[in-house]
Amino acid sequence: MGSDVNLEDALEVLVISAQRKGKGMLFPKGGWESDESIKEAALRESVEEAGVFGTVEGALGTWCFKSKGNDSYYEGHMFPLLVEEQLEFWPEKNIRQRHWVSVPKAKEVCQYSWMKEALDLLVTRLESSPSSDL
């Protein structure tokens, strides 16, 4: 195998199952409390929903999306998390599955366009980073 490894294929990202059946896979997400920063909320949601802990990197961007429960619009901030530890037990273990998949597979199983855009931004950032260890 040559050194021309395609980053999209080599990079693995973590997706979790949606709580409702048939809603595909997604990235951990949720609201943040008034006593925490957005980055702290991202880390907390990653632990609660996916059972992973690590370093929250710089924001990939902000997207606006409509709530499924009502007609409200929300602003979502996406952050990559460099996973350093996978927990054996976590708060939502009984209601969610976690899967490590390639970027193309994540784009296939995530139904939200903003999640696919965030993945593209992550790959672009990593490809342009001279210090990428991948």
pTM score, two decimals? 0.83
Average pLDDT over residues 28-57: 93
pLDDT beyond 70 at 64: yes
**Which among 35, 30, 8, 7 has a CA at the least distance from the CA of 18?**
30
13-128 CATH:
3.90.79.10
Average pLDDT of the residues in 55-70: 86
What pLDDT does 2 receive? 45
